[in-house]
Amino acid sequence: MTTTAVRTPRAVPHRGSDVMNERFKVAPRYGAAPPRPEDACRVGMMRRIAAARLRYCGLEAMTGEVMSIVSELLTNALLHSGTTEISLSISVKDGTLRIAVRDGMPGSAEPKAADDNAESGRGLMLVEAMVRESGGTWGTSDAGDTTWCCLPVPQEQR
């Protein structure tokens, strides 16, 4: 008896298709208190779900970059918004992968220079650099409740 491995065809996202759309509840933060451990763990869970969805859609070449961006944007929302719910959506449309993190709180995500000894504060600068390097764009919605970025999908994965 022999066993043959068969590779299942991947669902390549079509124009306007969602790769993932998730939301989760968090406890609001006040002052400098750290987030609850279970809320901080959700960032890692969302990273892993995003990576799995990208692989499923045949976009594994973008996994490293997207995981870093997802991690930074979710962490930023968790640490700085004071929200009780965060959503992450990833979609593909017209050769562009769009990542959006919504915290429902007005404000503006702006990269700031961090002190050399600071343990945090470089996330949005990292997002900006990765997006610029890939030829994409990023920003915050007019209401300030969503931070997004758009990355070009490599030609061979369209």
Q: Judge whether residue 22 has pLDDT over 90.
A: yes
Chain segment 118-129, per-residue pLDDT in tens: 455 567 888 889
pLDDT value of position 13: 53
pLDDT value of position 9: 46
Eight-class DSSP state of 51: H
pLDDT value of position 122: 67
Classify strands 96-102 and 137-140 as parallel, antiparallel or unpaired.
unpaired
Chain segment 81-124, per-residue pLDDT in tens: 878 899 999 999 989 999 999 987 666 666 566 555 545 556 78
Residue 140: pLDDT band with limits 50, 70, 90: confident
pLDDT value of position 4: 44
Q: Confirm if 83 and 76 have CB atoms less than 8 A apart.
A: no
Q: Which amino acid is at 32?
A: A
**pTM for the complete prediction?**
0.82
Could you tell me how far CA 121 lies from the centroid of its own chain? 17
Mean pLDDT across 45-59: 93
